[in-house]
Amino acid sequence: MYRAITNYKSQNDANLVKILDATSGCCGAGTTPCQYDVIIPTANAVNNIIFKQADGTSVTRTFSPAVTGATDVVAAIKAAILVTDGYEAGDDKTPTVSSTTTGTNTVYHISGDLIVTSMLHNTVTTVTATARCTALNMCTFFYAWPGDAGSTTMTIGGVDATLGALTLGGSTAAQVITAILALGNWPTNAYLGVVETATAFEITITAAHDAAPVLDAVSFAKSNCLPLFEA
């Protein structure tokens, strides 16, 4: 995650090792880190990001040209947040910038001591960032589900719920997303993506490490566990 550089305007940008507020044990304010989430339709071009420098000054960094697609947007955000803003990546395992697909949207996660205000997409739409400040280990869970012509059980976090009939050819990925999100056991801190192929609905869930989703008596494969945040 991004960490505030102690007295960053006086430290030399070329210093190989910089003193950070979080680890100096001396003079920094010791900011509580958070994760700032910004939800943007995946198909839309992203124009800028607004955040606060370490001294509290608000800055707007414009992406020119505008960028589309999670990989390019993440790269643009990383390029926009500079050492001269008073931040650099810490040595923890929380990524500075990452993304999660949920339905037709992409959620961009910017983590650390900096405060993110908003991002702009499609030139005119401003999305306010949501702060999540409770640390939580999050993992990716995957299952290529062939669908089911009858009702089935989906278990998340040890709690069962009934998922109605959803079949390849008879249902769409969007309908699968809607049905799963409507379940009474769906966690508020989870993200869901579904891709329909010729043989399965490829379901990807990003959720707490102990979510342990099970569908049609099949456990999702667990991977890519990282320390992130929840509200």
Domain ranges of the chain: 2-132, 138-230
Residue 116's H or E segment, with its range, is: strand 115-121
- The 3-state DSSP composition of the chain as helix, strand, coil percent (nearest 5) reads 10, 50, 40
Q: What is the pLDDT of residues 14-32, one digit of tens each?
A: 555 555 555 555 555 556 7
Q: What's the whole-model pTM score?
A: 0.82
Q: What is the mean pLDDT of residues 122-137?
A: 95
- Residue 92: predicted pLDDT: 72
Residues with Cβ within 8 Å of 77's Cβ and at least 6 positions away in sequence, in order, are 49, 97, 108, 110
Tell whether the model's pLDDT for residue 7 goes beyond 90: no
Determine the pLDDT at residue 27. Answer: 54
Q: How far apart are CA 186 and CA 130, in angstroms?
A: 20
Q: What share of the chain has pLDDT > 70, as a percent?
A: 88
Exposure on the CB side of residue 87, measured as CA atoms within 13 A: 26
Q: What is the pLDDT of residue 230?
A: 83
Paired strand residues for 138: 208, 226
Check if the beta carbon of residue 98 is closer than 8 Å to that of residue 74: yes
What integer pLDDT is reported at residue 23 of this predicted model?
54
How much is the pLDDT for 194?
A: 95
Structure tokens at 228: 């992130």
Model confidence over 194-207: pLDDT tens digits?
999 999 999 999 99
Residue 157 and residue 22: Cα distance in Å, rounded? 33
Give 177-215 as a DSSP string: HHHHHTSTT--TT-EEEEEE-SS-EEEEEEEETT---EE
Residue 139 has pLDDT above 70, yes or no: yes
Angstrom distance (rounded) from CA 27 to CA 64: 37
Tens digit of each residue's pLDDT (9 = 90 or more) over 47-92: 999 999 988 999 999 999 999 999 999 999 999 998 889 898 887 7
Enter the tokens of residue 196.
């329909």
The residues facing 108 across adjacent strands are: 38, 99
Average pLDDT, the chain: 90
**Phi and psi angles of residue 173, each rounded to the nearest 5 degrees, phi first:** -60, -40
